[in-house]
Structure 1
């Protein structure tokens, strides 16, 4: 009887744990800002020339080359970017986005916004960026 009870308890605990999703360590929350136009044409940490019209960003918490999905906590808008630069060491912000990404997240008037970052695969990141270019390059009258 005792063995049956222990087995049942272990089974139920296992079912409970199986249904729970593990904490996602690929998520980060913080404040986003965007690049000033004065950085246009300067070299980034990866050696690329910075362009405010490309879906890139600076971040000190993630590896260069990482693709992330950035969600604006205030309005739920999403943008995909690739990390290609670093910020000043004393910067309190989580990420610094190219202007095109900040415009898509709709916070350029405010200057900063709270965001959630999710690391995504290279494939998802590239597809997301490509889709954004297609959608936001189209005239608004086409929709």
Structure 2
């Protein structure tokens, strides 16, 4: 199914989370797996598919919202380690991103 980014469009910061929470239950009830393409967001509904684009290098990844957060700093979205790897932001820990979501 093609991605349609019309419903939600925001520029902010992405942070990533992984090893410390791997295997724990997310706010949606799913088990967090740092190797899957998932994310935490404060308001997007669980199950929403969102495209996150690193504005510094143009790389993007599609993630599924399955948790609530971020709970620290000035981040707009927390992405899994796998998603952060695709955006090439593991080392920096955060990046300026565009978040586009279309629904479930």
Any runs of at least 4 consecutive aligned residues in structure 1 with deviations exceeding 3 A, and if so which? Answer: 88-91
What residue ranges of structure 2 are gaps of 5+ in the alignment? 1-5
Which is worse superposed, 25-34 or 83-92?
83-92
What residue ranges of structure 1 are gaps of 5+ in the alignment? 1-23, 123-143
Give, in angstroms, the shift of residue 61 of structure 1.
Answer: 3.0
Aligned residues: 99
Using CA pairs below 8 Å that are at least 6 residues apart, which structure has the higher relative contact order?
Answer: 2
Q: Do structure 1's residue 79 and structure 2's residue 61 form an aligned pair?
A: yes
TM, length-normalised to structure 1: 0.64
1:71 to 1:43, Cα distance in 2 relative to 1, 3 A: same
* Larger Rg, first or second structure (1 or 2): 1
Q: Kindly provide the CA deviation profile for residues 115-135 of structure 1, in whole angstroms up to 9, marking residues without a partner as x.
A: 00111343xxxxxxxxxxxxx
TM, length-normalised to structure 2: 0.87
Confirm or deny: 8 A CA contact 1:61 1:94 kept in the other structure: no
Aligned-residue Cα RMSD (Å) equals 1.6
1:29 counterpart (1, 4, 11): 11
Higher strand share: 2
Confirm or deny: 8 A CA contact 2:61 2:87 kept in the other structure: yes
1:52 aligns to what?
Answer: 34
1:108 to 1:31, Cα distance in 2 relative to 1, 3 A: same
Which is worse superposed, 59-68 or 84-93?
84-93
